[in-house]
Every structure is written in C-alpha cells, then in structure tokens.
Structure 1
Amino acid sequence: MTQIPFDQLAKEFLQELLTPLGRVERSFEVPGEPKFIDVWFQPTEIPLQPSDPLTLLERVAATPCSFEPFRNPPTRQEIRRCLLKLLWVQEFELRTDDQIPDAHLPMLWILASSVSQPVLSEGKAEISDDWLPGIYFCGNLFKTVIVAINQLPETQETLWLRILGRGDTQQQAISEVLALPPSDPQRSRILQMLTSWRVRIELIGPLDAENEDLLMALSQAYLEWEQTTEQRGEQRGEQRGERKVVEALLKTRFGELDDALSAIIPRILELPTDTYTPLLLNLSRDELIHRFG
C-alpha cells in the first residue's frame, strides 16, 4: 500500500482533534523554503476546556509544534529532514521576535508506528519520567520528541494517537473507538474519517495480508458509521414530517402561518405528539403564542 491514504488520514485526523485547541495548518510551508510540514499547530491563548484527565494529544498541544506522522519506521535521514524543517521554522520565529524564550519555540513530534532501537540510541532519545512509555525525548537542545506508537499503553489517554499506529496496535484502537458510547462527540467524526480511509485503500489494491486485516477492521467502522448516519437521517426525516403536520394543523385552524405562529413551532415539537395535538386543536391562537412563545 502506498503512503497516500495514511498521509491523508493522519493530517485529517490531527486537524480534527487539534482544531478545538488552536490553529492547525496541514502541509504548512516552511517560511522561505520549498519544504512542507505535515501538520503545524499553534495553541490558542485561551484554549477550550480540555478533557479530564488530559489525553496525550492535549498534553502535546500545550505548546506550538509540528507533527510528522510515519506509517513505517522513520529512517535516520527522514528524521534529519524533519529536524531541519523544525530548525528553519524556529529561525523564522526568532527573526520575527528575537526575545522569544527557548521554552516557547516550537517542538517537533515525530509520530511513528514503531522506531528501531538503533535509531533511538543514535538520537540519544530517552523516556521521561513525566511522560508515558513510548515517548522519547531527544535532549532539550533539539526540542524533538519521537513517539513509538506501538509502545504506548492501551489507555483512553493514548487512544487517538494509537489510531495512527499499525497492525495490531491500530486495529485495537479502532475496536476501542467502536466501543465508545454513541454520545461521544468524537466518535462519529472519527468513524467518518476511517470510512474515507477504507475507500481509498480499496481503490489502490492489491493488498497484502496486513492491509487485508486492516480493511476488515475499517469495514466494521464503515458499518457503524453508515448505521449512525442512517439513524440520524431517519430522525431528521421524522422531525421534518412532524413539523409539516404541525404547520398543517395551524393553517387549518387559523388560515395563515404568520411569523408569530412559525416562531412557536420548535417549542411545540419539543413535546410528544399525543401531548401537543390536543393543544393545537383546542387552544386559541393567542393562548398558543402565550404558552409556547
């Protein structure tokens, strides 16, 4: 499978989850250079109330940063290219304001499905006591962090990043998304993105064994999303049907649906049908407006 489906999913996915926390730019052009950062993020001065407890992605998003996701283990050269883009951005920031504290300069987060031990060793990457296993800091000087997604613990805190993993790690994360309650604000949107990824994978073909397994996991996500979409469509259809019934009753009784009567229809529809129907048949126009206005 080519990188195109994963690249698109990763960018869309990160943008969806980071947008409530700040400004997100996909394929951000490095100032003054013909290079692009996959995802560039700047937190808002007054971010929305984060979840409790914080997810791993929310902790990462506390400071300006760039994200470079990799489906395959990144090579030494790929990591160097990511670091070079970060240095260019930092240089641009310092040219704009040479008083920026070092702690406020952007960080680089390399999100890798896995990372080889030799690469981690050569990069002097070490786990911090303040962060979860699988998160390697390459010294304070370089402001670079490598996340080995396959090493992250299987917790709610890491769920959103584990979706960007590979093999069993990714399939487990998809299963956890499917297990989320329908009321979860992120569930439907994430399922929609996974469904889009499934379609892209099918168009590429042929698939190897690993991606056949992934396609099966994504197919379940597709079925869940399709079912949810149909249910919402039915609910909207029922609501439109009820509104037409209410409008017809009001027109039959009062001959005209003016602004005052139109304004109370949403309040009327909040009641069960067997409750509002007698009211529409028996109350006067003024009584209806007084009751629901």
Structure 2
Amino acid sequence: MTRFIHDQFAKDYLEELLKPYGEVRGSSRVVGEVREIDVLFSPLTKQSTNLETLGLLGRFAATAAIFEPFRNAASKEEICDCLLKLLEVRGGLQRQANRNKTSIPELELPKLWILTPTASTTLLSGFGATQKVGWLPGVHFIAEYLRTAIVAIHQLPRTQETLWLRILGRGTVQKQAIDELEALPLNHPFRRATLELLYNLRQNLQVNQNSEEDDRELIMRLQPLYQQDREQAVQQGEQRLIIRLINRRFGEIDSSTIERVQGLSIEQLEALGEALLDFSDISDLEAWLNQQIE
C-alpha cells in the first residue's frame, strides 16, 4: 500500500505551504480515543505575507483550521472520524474557556476542511453537503454549526486559485496541476519547495514494491522534470563557480558580463573554466565570450 506515503506527502506539503502564515502542527493528538489530526493550523494575528498567494487554500487558512487530506476517496466512516476530531478539539477549547471563565472567540474555533480526491453525489447528500454562494464548485459545506466542508478536488475548476489543492488530487487532476506548477515563474515562493516534496514522494514510491498504476504514472511524469531540475542545479553551480573565479582573477565584473556567463551551457562553462587559466586580462574573457556566439 502506498497510501501512507501519499498521506505523509500531503501533511508535509500542507505544512510547508502554511508555515509562513501561522503555527502548523502535524499529526496532533486529541483527547478521547487515540486520534491524530493530520494538520492543525492557527493563523498569525498579523499576516506579514499575502495569503492570496495560496488561492483557495489561503482562503481556508484565513481562520483556525483542521486539514484532513485523503489519497483515496474519503468514506462516510472516515468523514465521521474527522468530525469526531473536530468536536474533540472544540471540546478541549470549551473546557479551557470554562476554566478561565471566558468565551471562545469565533475566529479561534477551527474549521474542518476534508480534502478528498473525489466525492460521490451519494456521499455528499448523505452529509447534507451543499455549495455556498461565493465559493468555488467542489467546496461542499455541511451543517453550519459544524464548521466543516468536504472539498472534492476533482470538481475544483482548473484555475491558478485552486492549483495548490489540485496538487493533492489523483490521476489526471494531479498531473495537470504538476504541469501548471512547472510553468510557474522560477522565483515563485512555493514552486521550489513543492517540487522538492514531489521529488521526495517520487523517490519513496520508486522503492515501494506495491505501487499502483496512478503511482507509476506519477513517477513517469516527475522523472523528466526531476532530471531537468538536477541538470539546471548543476549548471547554476557551475555558473556561480566560474563567476567567483573571474571576480577573483580580474575583480568584480559588470552585470552584462555575468548575464553572458549565465547564458552558457554546461559544456561551455567547463571550457571557460579551463580557458580562464590562459587569460591575461578581462579583454581575453570578452573575446572568448564573443567567440561563443559566432
């Protein structure tokens, strides 16, 4: 079974995305029977970063929240178990408030977000789940006082706003999200961290002997991206080394020369590293760079 591998990825992934915005506690135990909350989140009182970067996930994280992600479609029993976790957390908060003779501020009551790759009409109707005005398709709220929503990831529209949730989908939904992740600007605050977590997931799935078809397809999708990223990392390392050598040899070089060096292939960077030994001054470097574009 690879479900536990995916479960750990989902927890690590949500923690990585949410930690700039508040306190994140993974695998938090609650009172009563031994139950563990996957991700318990408490937002910062004053946000220094923009939650809108996370789109719909950021909207979920605007208040205290419990996130329960599922690799397989959540069953009615699993959803009931999630509700028990929520009620136990609320019970603990209420007991603390009673001891302190205070009331619980509305914003401190956590909302439960059940993230499931798919959800049948029967399941949703069984919990009386409905969509609310102002929310995207795929977000189904159950009774108001329970502060709970079932998020059917396969129903979410394919937009930038839902990208960070669709990464937790399955099959085509997840692969499309990875395509969109790859297309993000290289300096996007969550692109690199998400890719690294996906590469770790890929590695864990590769060593597992019981991979499912979805897992094998995911490994195949990530393989060229992983290879490309590793080659890019090697190239960037070569660039930094060559630029340091040039600066040490001829003093600080200007930004235009740095850009030209950064545009070289790995093979050209290696050749430049050898040629540097024979350069007398910066003009030799400029002449060498000019030869590369002839």
TM-score range, shorter chain: 0.7 to 0.9
Q: How does 1:158-177 map to 2 (within 5 A)?
A: 158-177=162-181
Matched, 1:192 2:186: no
Aligned residue in 2 for 1:82: 82
- State the partner residue of 1:132: 136
- Is 1:135–1:145's contact at 8 Å kept on the other side of the alignment? yes
Amino acid in the other structure paired with 1:9: F
Partner of 1:219: 223
> Are 1:42 and 2:46 an aligned pair?
no
Give the share of equivalent positions with the same residue, in percent.
42
Report the CA distance shift for 1:245/1:273 in structure 2 as closer, same or farther (over 3 A): farther
Q: What do residues 186-235 of structure 1 show as CA deviations (whole Å, max 9, x unaligned)?
A: 21111111111110111113433332222111213312331332233223
Of 139, 146, 169, which aligns to 1:142?
Answer: 146
Query: Is the CA contact 1:191–1:225 (under 8 Å) kept in the aligned structure 2?
Result: no
The residue type equivalent to 1:13 in the other structure is Y
| Corresponding residue number in structure 2 for 1:182 | 186
Q: Secondary structure of the equivalent of 1:127? A: coil
Could you say if the C-alpha distance between residues 232 and 92 of structure 1 is closer, same or farther in structure 2, counting changes exceeding 3 Å? Answer: farther
Paired residue type of 1:210: D
Letter in 1 for 2:191: R
2:208 is aligned with 1:233: no
Q: SS of 1:160's equivalent? A: helix
Root-mean-square deviation over aligned CA pairs: 2.4
Taking a change above 3 Å as real, the CA distance of residues 59 and 270 of structure 1, as seen in their structure-2 partners, is farther
Find the residue that maps to 1:67 and give its secondary structure.
strand
Aligned residues of 1:24 and 1:39 also touching (Cα < 8 A): yes
The Cα of 1:32 is off from its aligned counterpart by 6.1
Is the 2:54–2:164 contact (alpha carbons within 8 Å) kept by the matching residues of 1? no
Contact 1:194 1:221 in 2 (8 A): no
So what's the TM-score if we normalise by structure 2?
Answer: 0.80
Is the contact between residue 134 and residue 152 of structure 1 (CA under 8 Å) also seen in structure 2?
yes
Counterpart pick for 1:111 among 103, 111, 115: 115
C-alpha distance in structure 1 between counterparts of 2:10 and 2:119, whole Å: 18
> Residues 51, 106 of structure 1: CA spacing in aligned structure 2 closer, same or farther, 3 A cutoff?
closer
Label 1:23 to 1:52 Cα distance change in 2 as closer, same or farther (>3 A): closer
* Partner Cα distance (1:183, 1:10) in 2: 23
SS where residue 126 of structure 1 aligns? Answer: coil
Contact preservation (8 Å) 1:194, 1:222: no
Flag structure 2 segments of 5+ consecutive residues without an equivalent: 259-279, 283-294
| Residues 30 and 237 of structure 1: CA distance in aligned 2, closer, same or farther (over 3 Å) | farther
1:222-249: per-residue Cα shift (whole Å, max 9, x none)? 1233133223322332344345447xx7
Q: Relative to structure 1, is the Cα distance of residues 273 and 176 closer, same or farther in structure 2, using a 3 angstrom cutoff? A: closer
**TM (normalized to structure 1)?**
0.80
Rounded Cα–Cα distance in structure 2 between residues aligned with 1:79 and 1:55 = 24
Structure 2 counterpart of 1:94 = 94
Q: Could you say if the C-alpha distance between residues 241 and 30 of structure 1 is closer, same or farther in structure 2, counting changes exceeding 3 Å?
A: farther
Other-structure match for 1:11: 11
**Residues 1:20 and 2:20 are matched in the alignment:** yes
Contact kept, 8 Å, 2:51 with 2:62, in 1: the verdict is no
Q: Residues 173-195 of structure 1, C-alpha deviation per residue, up to 9 Å, x if partnerless?
A: 01111111222222111111111
How far the C-alpha of 1:113 sits from its partner, in A, is 0.4
- Alpha carbons of structure 1 residues 46 and 239: separation in structure 2 relative to 1, 3 Å: farther
| Alignment CA distance shift 1:270-1:81 (3 Å) | farther
Q: Does the aligned pair in 1 maintain the 2:22–2:44 contact within 8 Å?
A: yes
Q: Distance in 2 between matches of 1:213 and 1:196?
A: 16
SS in 1 for 2:115: strand
Q: How many residues align?
A: 257
Secondary structure of 1:204's match? coil
Q: Deviations along 1:89-137, whole A, 9 cap, x unmatched?
A: 1111122224013453111110000112111101000011111000000
C-alpha distance after superposition, 1:120-176 (max 9, x if no partner): 101000011111000000121211111000000000000010000001100100111
